[in-house]
Structure 1
Amino acid sequence: MSRLPFYLLVGLLLVAGIGLSVHRHVALEVPWTPGEQRQVWEVEALVNFNAQGGPVLVDMALPSNQQGFRLLTEHTASPGFGLSFLEEGGARRAQWSIREATGSQQLYYTTQLLVAPDSRPPEVTPPPLRRDIVWERPHDTAAAQVIERAWSRSADSFTFARELIRDFGDERQGENSRLLLTQFERGPLLVRLLNQAGVPAREVSGLLLEDGRRRQTLANWVQVFDGERWALFDPATGEQGRPDNLLLWESSGQAVLEVQGGTNSRVTFSMLTHNQPAAAAVRNQLAEDTLLNFSIHSLPLEEQALFQTILLIPIGALVVVILRVLVGIKTSGTFMPVLIALAFIQTTLITGLVGFLLIVAVGLVIRNYLSYLNLLLVARVTAVIITVIAIISLFSVLSYRFGLNAGLTITFFPMIILSWTIERMSILWEEEGPKQVLIQGGGSLLTAVIAYLAMNNPWVRHITFNFLGVQMILMALILLLGNYTGYRLLELRRFKPVTED
């Protein structure tokens, strides 16, 4: 029979598992290792204004995901005000409203932003060129001459913008530039001149992030487009490029803050930076419900904690398969060691080993007595289950009485599995003797310890919980191991006499 479909299935599982894991690491920035730290900025915007005693409507621009930063959380503090978040044309805004307000008012908006240098910049649509630009005399002549002078020294839209801005600097400022600056502010003036020359541009507002700064204001930047490309220019110096610590707060050319029903409005910003674990920093993004972003993080925290343990079971199962198929270790029950390893995670290794040996030893003694009663199988196993429960209860009470709180964790042992383990070992003792009991019992315990070490590894716990594609990889490996028909390592000792000869 052809094995091609089998190998195609294994290959498909490997490719899908690796692809899904790499996608989560690259696109969603989930770290491969636990303990990685990410820089997070916390920015607070404070809106102050004086209400005039009637209805008030406050409209403020909000930041969004952009190159270098990803929005994590946001919340507001605005007692008595209604709040709505609006989004139109890629621009996000917060709108506060109240029917009646008087006197000084304060509104707070706080956001957390993850520093993401490798994040993709969002698509930006160039603004339409303004065709209704009208200058009064003599500003029309001055504007035409300034444009002509900068145009002659440029090669494209970006170099034209740079030369135009420098003509308004202190070193190269001429009479035409000084005349225009007496009538217009620098930012809107540069946008008017660029639009008149056929270059799409708009004024945007950005916040320079510096740790510990308070009561900062937004800085104006000129965004210039050249086809599908765009660049930021400092209207004061003509420097091209976006600083790494620049957060674009308003990037659609609209007003940052609009207040209806109030006067003396202004917005100031305070900021702090701190590091936090990468897994926590990207948790909000992991919880988004998208097809390729399928994640346990979208579940409630209680279910997440449950799945964090459940997803470790395939790791323990892989250890059992390797030890049984390749090494040849015998165990009492196929996957009983995995459940014992899960109990070790709850009890710690030493406490779990001592508890396991005590329960099994006492259980075997009591089971040996039950064998003389000639009970039916179901009744006998039920009696063993009750016995195991009694043993666990007794050990828990005694450990508590002696101040050994670690002994209380013995209740995490799977009682049904322990009962069947005692039953199997007792039957094995009767049929094949104590030697086989020691071999299988020792093999089970050794397998459980190795599975515990693999499952309790912080790196393994992080990978299995954050990369669900690993489950497909484990499935592919187990299928390959299930196809193995060669000798086990422990069987090779049979050939030792041959090598000696």
Structure 2
Amino acid sequence: MSRLPFYLLTGILLVAGIALSIHRHIQFEVPWTPGEQRQVWEIEAQVNFSAQGDPVLVDMALPSHQQGYRILTENTASSGYGLSFLEDQRGRRAQWSTREAAGAQQLYYSAQLLVVPDGRPREIQPPPLPDNIHWESPFASAANQVIEHAHQRSADPFTFTRELVRDFTGDRQGENARLLLTQFDRTPLLVRLLNEAGVHAREVSGLLLEDGRRRQNLTSWLQVFGEDGKWVLFNPRTGEQGRPDNLLLWEDRGQAVLEVQGGINSNISFSMIQHNQPAAAAVRNQLADNTLLNFSIHSLPLEEQALFQTILLIPIGALVVVFLRVLVGIKTSGTFMPVLIALAFIQTTLLTGLVGFLLVVAVGLVIRSYLSHLNLLLVARVSAVIITVIGIISVFSVLSYRFGLNAGLTITFFPMIILSWTIERMSILWEEEGPKEVLIQGGGSLLTAVLAYLAMNNPWVRHITFNFLGVQMILMSLILLLGNYTGYRLLELRRFKPVTED
């Protein structure tokens, strides 16, 4: 029979598992290692104005996901105001409203932003050019001369912008530029000149992030679009091209940052602080997004997440058992009993679990040897062993508590039904094969359980199995491949040692 379908299935599982894990790492920025830290900025915007006793409507621009930064959480403080978050052609905005307000008013908006060094620029549509730009005399002549002078020394919209800004800066500032600056503010003037020259541009507002700064204001930047739709930021004061690493675009649609109806003397200031936190916590809200390719345990309630964090470790223990039984040839009492014992070791710690397991099994075997003389039926005998195991665990827990050994209380995490069947099997094996076989299988079970515990309790393994569900497909493919092995086990090679000696 052809093995092609089998290898095709395992190959699909392996590739799918690796692809899902890589997609999750790149798209949702889930780290590969558990201790990785991410930089997070906490920014607070404070809006101040004086209300005049009339209805008040405050409209403020909000930042959005952009290159270098991603919003984690948002909070507001606005006692007595209604609040709505809106998103339209003007971008993301917050609106506070109230029927009546008088005197000094303060509104707060705070956000946590995750620093994403490898983020891509967001697609933004270029603004339309104004139909007609009117200049009063003598500014029309000055504007045309400034545009013509910069146009001769440029080759595309970006170089034209750079030359135009330099004509308004420092020693290169001519009479025409000085004349225009007497009538217009610098940044709106540059936007108007660029639009007059057929260049799509607008004024945007950005916040320069500096750790521990308070009462900071937004700065104006030129957003210029090229012929291919790509955009570049320019500093309207120096002409420098490019976006600084610490610049957060607070408003990128050319709209007003703050509009207040029913109030006067409005202003907005910003405070900020930077700190580091674990990467898994920083991207937790992304992991809860309900998307088709985001198969995330983080979308479940916390109680179910804690449950699955343990359940997803079982395939790791199963892989260890398959490897030791198929390739090494270790005998165990029960196929996957060591995995369940390893899960109990995770709850009890290794040393406490080993001592508790040996004590329970040893006392259980003694009591089981007495039950064998009663000639009971199998169901009744196993039920009696279960009750015996419960009694043994209860006695050990009470004695541990009396002697101040709190670690002994965790012995209750052992699976009692599995312990009962283990005692039953070892007792029958003792009667049929002798104590040697009991020691071989019992020792093999303990060794397998210890190795499975070490693999399952590794912080890297716990992190990867919980955050990358594609790993389950990889484990499945490896187990299928091991199940296809039909060669000699490592421990069986000693049987052929005399042959090599001859």
Q: What residue number does 1:298 align with?
A: 299
Within 5 Å, give how 1:75-224 maps onto structure 2.
75-89=75-89, 91-224=91-224
2: distance between equivalents of 1:9 and 1:409? 42
Compute the displacement of 1:90 (Å): 7.1
Confirm whether residue 470 of structure 1 aligns to residue 464 of structure 2. Answer: no
Q: Distance in 1 between matches of 2:183 and 2:193?
A: 14
Query: Partners of 1:57 and 1:14 in 2: how far apart?
Result: 57
Alignment of 1:224-243 (within 5 A): 224-227=224-227, 228-243=229-244
Letter matched to residue 493 of structure 1: R
Matches within 5 A, 1:36-435: 36-89=36-89, 91-227=91-227, 228-435=229-436
Mean Cα displacement is larger for which, 205-214 or 96-105?
96-105
Q: Which moved more, 1:23-32 or 1:340-349?
A: 23-32
TM-score using structure 1 length: 0.99
Partners in 1 of 2:132 and 2:60 — Cα distance?
A: 28
Deviates more, 1:146-155 or 1:350-359: 146-155
Task: State which drifts further: 431-440 or 350-359.
Answer: 431-440
* Matching residue's letter, 1:261: G
What's the CA shift string for 1:65-88, capped at 9, x where partnerless? 111111111111111111111111
Q: CA deviation at 1:50?
A: 0.9
Contact 2:146–2:164 (CA under 8 A) maintained in structure 1: yes
1:140 partner amino acid: A
Unpaired runs of at least 5, structure 1: none
SS at match of 2:172: coil
Contact 1:320/1:451 (8 A) holds in 2: yes
Identify the residue that residue 496 of structure 2 maps to in structure 1.
495
5+ residue gaps in structure 2?
Answer: none
Secondary structure class of the residue paired with 1:334: coil
Letter in 2 for 1:177: A
Measured in 1, the distance between the counterparts of 2:332 and 2:80 equals: 67
Which region of structure 1 is more displaced relative to structure 2, 89-98 or 31-40? 89-98
Q: Which amino acid aligns with 1:420?
A: W
Counterpart in 1 of 2:15? 15
Contact 2:90 2:255 (C-alpha < 8 Å) held by counterparts: no
Q: Determine if the alignment matches structure 1 residue 438 to structure 2 residue 436.
A: no
Give the AA of the match of 2:456.
M
Letter of the structure 1 residue corresponding to residue 498 of structure 2: P
Give the aligned CA root-mean-square deviation in angstroms: 0.8
| Secondary structure at 1:171 match in 2 | helix
Q: Distance in 1 between matches of 2:28 and 2:323?
A: 33
Superposition deviation, residue 132 in structure 1: 2.0
Q: CA deviation at 1:176?
A: 1.2
1:372 shift after superposition? 1.1
TM-score by length of 2: 0.99
Indicate the SS of the match to 1:92. strand
Q: Percent of aligned pairs with the same residue?
A: 83
Per-residue deviation, residues 124-146 of structure 1 (Å, max 9, x unmatched): 11000112211111111111111
CA distance in 2, matches of 1:383, 1:46: 71
1:89 deviates by: 3.0
Name the amino acid aligned to 1:179: L
Preserved contact between residue 55 and residue 101 of structure 1 (Cα < 8 Å): yes
Does the CA contact (< 8 Å) of 1:214 and 1:269 recur in 2? Answer: yes
Q: Distance in 2 between matches of 1:294 and 1:312?
A: 17
1:455 and 2:453 correspond = no
Q: Is the 8 A contact 1:45 1:269 kept in 2?
A: yes
Residue 371 (structure 1) shift: 1.0
Q: Could you list the per-position Cα deviations for residues 239-269 of structure 1 after superposition, in whole angstroms to 9, with x for gaps in the alignment?
A: 1110000000000000000011111111100
- Report Cα offsets for 1:7-41 as digits up to 9, x if no partner: 00000001000001111112221111110111111
Structure 2 CA distance for aligned equivalents of residues 340 and 116 of structure 1: 42
Q: 1:419 is aligned with what amino acid? A: S
Q: CA deviation at 1:117?
A: 1.0
Partner Cα distance (1:128, 1:92) in 2: 20
Q: What code does the residue aligned with 1:410 have?
A: I
Q: Structure 2 counterpart of 1:286, which letter? A: L
- Work out the CA distance in 2 between the residues paired with 1:170 and 1:131: 32
Query: How far, CA to CA, are the matches of 2:77 and 2:431 in structure 1?
Result: 74
2: CA distance, partners of 1:385 / 1:77: 59
Residues 343, 414 of structure 1: 8 Å contact kept: yes
Q: Secondary structure at the match of 1:127?
A: coil
Partner amino acid, structure 1, of 2:348: T
**CA shift for structure 1 position 348:** 0.2
Deviations 1:179-223 (A, max 9, x none): 111111111111111001000000000000000000000000000
Residue by residue over 1:145-175, the C-alpha shift from the partner in whole angstroms, topping out at 9 and shown as x without a partner, is 1111111111110111111111111311111
Q: Distance in 1 between matches of 2:222 and 2:282?
A: 32
Equivalent-residue separation in structure 1 for 2:389 and 2:265 (angstroms): 76
Task: Give yes or no for contact 1:34–1:462 (8 Å, CA) kept in 2.
Answer: yes
Q: CA distance change for structure 1 residues 90 and 388 in 2, over 3 Å: closer, same or farther?
A: farther
Alignment of 1:26-37 (within 5 A): 26-37=26-37
Letter in 1 for 2:251: E
1:345-364 deviation digits (Å, cap 9, x = unpaired)? 00000000000000000011
The structural deviation recorded for 1:294 is 1.4
Rounded Cα–Cα distance in structure 1 between residues aligned with 2:225 and 2:123: 13
Count matched residues: 501
Q: Distance between the aligned counterparts of 1:244 and 1:284, measured in 2?
A: 24
Alpha-carbon distance in 1 for matches of 2:112, 2:132: 41
Q: Is the 8 A contact 1:131 1:196 kept in 2?
A: no
